[in-house]
């Protein structure tokens, strides 16, 4: 990925088009900007969403939020306003806006705030596991996670993998022996010490309520909730759609917080249909 200096920091990004479709040239197709959630690099989108969007004829930009090396790690702290400004500056740097923007979890919140603060940069917006606030459980979990980071305590790898699976995957996924094995192996392999930038992302404020503010969003929006999401329960994602005038809500069954990885075909169809302006599509 190339590095760009935007909003005063280095930001690691990747811009792709499909040469066979002629979308590898600037301005040849609508640009989709994908905003990742807490602790994860932008390349996670490459597993499922980027190939589907390219096949559908879009250009796609993924990037590492501040906090994720080699982007600026911001170990001393990160605010939502900084993340929003980074994303806005990247869209301006690419000079292909207004963009179609989608985010998940923390990235959904960035997308929501971007749609409110810089609507001229956002053609349409999709929020996966979006939220305008956190309930008491999420607040307590976030504070506890930050305290665990600061303590220096290292959880046993298998226990950490199991807890990551329980918090981020659907019981339907974990009931499948092969899928459960693969996910647990992945979490065990990728666990370990938390980098300073990720700790900074985790320490972001958990005490906010933007329900009333989001009534001012005017760009077309789709909020996607994952029915088995323990990190951001689906009712919080529905609440976002209810707050935004004209916004749509779609809930995906048998999907946890990582629903875009567990049920990518459904997520991709929703993205492509909404960004492409298709009406009347149904999701099984």
Question: Which tens digits make up the pLDDT trace of 72-93?
Answer: 999 999 999 999 999 999 999 9
Distance of alpha carbon 129 from alpha carbon 102, whole angstroms: 11
Query: Can you name the residues that pair with 12 across neighbouring β-strands?
Result: 3
What angle, 0 to 180 degrees and rounded to 10, lies between the N-to-C axes of helices 80-94 and 106-117?
70
Continuous segment of H or E residues that includes residue 124: strand 122-128
Domains of the chain: 3-134+208-276 (3.40.50.1820), 137-197 (no CATH)
Cα-based distances in Å from 243 to 56, 59, 154, 219: 30, 30, 40, 13
pLDDT band at 152 (very low <50, low <70, confident <90, very high): confident
Distance of alpha carbon 273 from alpha carbon 126, whole angstroms: 11
Residue 280, C-beta contacts closer than 8 angstroms, at least 6 positions apart:
none
pLDDT at res. 5:
96
Q: What is the mean pLDDT of the chain?
A: 94
Q: Which residues are catalytic?
A: 105, 229, 257
Task: Give the global pTM.
Answer: 0.95
Q: Are 119 and 50 in contact (CB under 8 A)?
A: no
pLDDT at res. 277:
54
Backbone dihedral angles phi then psi of residue 11, each to the nearest 5 degrees: -125, 125
Of 271, 231, 266, give the one whose Cα is nearest residue 252.
266
Please give the structure tokens belonging to residue 99: 């963009």
Q: Are 98 and 123 in contact (CB under 8 A)?
A: yes
CA dihedral 278, 115, 112, 103 (to 10 degrees): 60
Distance of alpha carbon 134 from alpha carbon 230, whole angstroms: 12
Q: State pLDDT tens for residues 247-266.
A: 999 999 999 999 999 999 99
Backbone dihedral angles phi then psi of residue 171, each to the nearest 5 degrees: -55, -30
In the chain the first and final C-alpha atoms are separated, in Å, by 36
Backbone dihedral angles phi then psi of residue 277, each to the nearest 5 degrees: 75, 20
Q: What percent of the chain has pLDDT over 70?
A: 97
Q: Determine the average pLDDT of the residues in 231-254.
A: 98
Q: Is 43 exposed, middle or buried (0-12, 13-18, 19+ CB in 10 A)?
A: middle
By DSSP bridging, strand 9-16 and strand 59-63 are: antiparallel
Query: Can you name the residues that pair with 127 across neighbouring β-strands?
Result: 103, 223
């Amino acid at each position: 990925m190339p590095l760009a200096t935007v909003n005063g920091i280095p930001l690691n990004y990747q811009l792709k088009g499909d040469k066979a479709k002629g979308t590898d040239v600037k301005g040849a197709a609508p640009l989709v900007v994908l905003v990742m959630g807490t602790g994860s690099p932008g390349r996670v989108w490459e597993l499922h969403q980027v190939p589907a969007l390219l096949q559908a004829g879009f250009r796609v930009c993924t990037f590492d939020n501040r906090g994720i090396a080699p982007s600026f790690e911001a170990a001393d702290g990160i605010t939502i306003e900084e993340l929003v400004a980074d994303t806005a500056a990247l869209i301006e740097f690419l000079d292909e806006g207004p963009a179609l923007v989608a985010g998940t979890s923390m990235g959904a919140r960035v997308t929501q705030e971007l749609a409110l603060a810089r609507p001229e940069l956002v053609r349409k917006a999709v929020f996966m596991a979006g939220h305008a606030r956190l309930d008491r459980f999420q607040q307590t979990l976030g504070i506890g996670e930050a305290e665990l980071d600061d303590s220096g305590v290292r959880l046993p790898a298998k226990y950490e993998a199991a807890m990551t699976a329980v918090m981020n995957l659907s019981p339907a996924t974990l009931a499948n022996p092969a899928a459960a094995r693969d996910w647990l192996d992945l979490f065990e392999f990728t666990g370990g010490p938390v980098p300073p930038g990720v700790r900074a992302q985790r320490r972001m404020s958990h005490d906010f309520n933007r329900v009333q503010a989001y009534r001012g969003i005017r760009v077309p929006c789709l909020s996607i909730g994952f029915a088995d999401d323990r990190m951001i329960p689906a009712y919080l994602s529905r609440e976002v759609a209810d707050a935004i005038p004209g916004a749509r809500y779609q809930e995906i069954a048998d999907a946890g917080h990582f629903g875009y990885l567990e049920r990518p075909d459904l997520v991709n169809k929703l993205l492509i249909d909404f960004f492409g302006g298709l009406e009347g599509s149904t999701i099984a």
